[in-house]
């Protein structure tokens, strides 16, 4: 076995160890997993029914309004659910957990990947719960479209979680992390068209939203839910998601290596 293969094997082994450790901590509070999906579920229950009267209006077309709304809520879950995981790392910094891990021979990349995999698994469970709730409330989408939408959510969750950990290591304090996170996530939510398609917005706002990468992801998931797998929207959304994934993992890996050098 070459040195490169040994390094990859070691990273994979250490990632599994960190993942299991983080997952055990999460499972000690199973209620947190359920309540993490409460806000998106409230959007479905309390806001979603209002959109059923808009069928045939603007971008809602003559199809199923839930095909427009549920994808947006899924991306919102990935953005906020993965975006807030940095608070957990800040708590570990304060309690000395990260300091103790520094003296172990564990791969520095694994310290990031293990956490991100835990976060992604939790968000995947919550996303499946949301899709099931959407189907119960009237969502109609092909099975392949639902799977494609969940893949987008998973990849986006990996990217957002990695960036969240980078910001947490930069700020190292809830007092600094919270306002910074809000300043980033709120405009992303409003300009991406998660709740309502941005094509319904005034012209200037629609133009501004095109500079928001999450808009392309939202539109890609909506296209997948309609069954338009070969559309430009899906291609653009996939390109943006992969780019975000690569950039976030590179930044996260560099930061964790520097932090634990």
Tell me the per-residue pLDDT of 134-155, one tens digit each, with 9 for 90 and over. Answer: 999 888 899 999 999 999 999 9
Tell me the per-residue pLDDT of 169-227, one tens digit each, with 9 for 90 and over. Answer: 999 898 999 999 999 998 998 899 888 888 778 889 989 999 999 999 999 999 999 99
Region 41-68: mean pLDDT is 70
Token pair belonging to 146: 């639902």
Q: What is the DSSP letter of 60?
A: G
Nearest residue to 163 via CA among 188, 192, 193, 146: 188
Residue 62: per-residue pLDDT? 47
Lowest-pLDDT range, 55-59, 74-78, 146-150, 195-199?
Answer: 55-59
Residue 3: per-residue pLDDT? 60
Residue 56: per-residue pLDDT? 54
The structure's pTM equals 0.88
Half-sphere exposure for 232 (CA within 13 Å, toward CB) = 0
Token pair belonging to 162: 């990695």
Half-sphere exposure for 83 (CA within 13 Å, toward CB) = 18
């Amino acid at each position: 076995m070459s040195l490169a293969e040994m390094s990859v094997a070691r990273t994979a082994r250490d990632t599994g160890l960190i993942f299991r450790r983080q997952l055990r901590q999460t499972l000690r509070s199973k209620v947190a997993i359920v309540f993490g999906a409460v806000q998106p579920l409230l959007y479905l229950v309390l806001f979603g029914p209002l959109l059923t009267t808009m069928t045939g209006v603007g971008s809602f077309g003559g199809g199923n309004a839930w095909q427009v709304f549920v994808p947006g809520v899924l991306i919102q879950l990935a953005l906020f659910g993965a975006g807030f995981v940095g608070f957990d790392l800040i708590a570990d910094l304060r309690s000395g957990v990260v300091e103790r891990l520094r003296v172990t021979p564990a791969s520095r990349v694994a310290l990031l990947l293990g956490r991100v995999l835990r976060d992604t698994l939790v968000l995947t469970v919550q996303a499946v719960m949301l899709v099931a709730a959407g189907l119960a409330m009237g969502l109609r989408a092909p099975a392949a479209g639902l799977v494609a939408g969940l893949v987008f959510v998973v990849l986006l969750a990996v990217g957002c979680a990695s960036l969240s950990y980078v910001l947490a290591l930069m700020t190292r304090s809830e007092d600094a992390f919270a306002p910074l996170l809000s300043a980033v996530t709120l405009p992303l939510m409003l300009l991406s068209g998660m709740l309502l398609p941005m094509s319904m917005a005034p012209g200037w706002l629609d133009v501004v939203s095109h500079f928001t990468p999450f808009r392309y992801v939202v539109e890609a998931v909506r296209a997948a839910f309609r069954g338009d797998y070969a559309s430009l929207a899906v291609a653009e959304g996939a390109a943006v998601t992969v780019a975000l994934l690569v950039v976030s993992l590179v930044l996260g890996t560099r930061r964790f290596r520097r932090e634990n050098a």
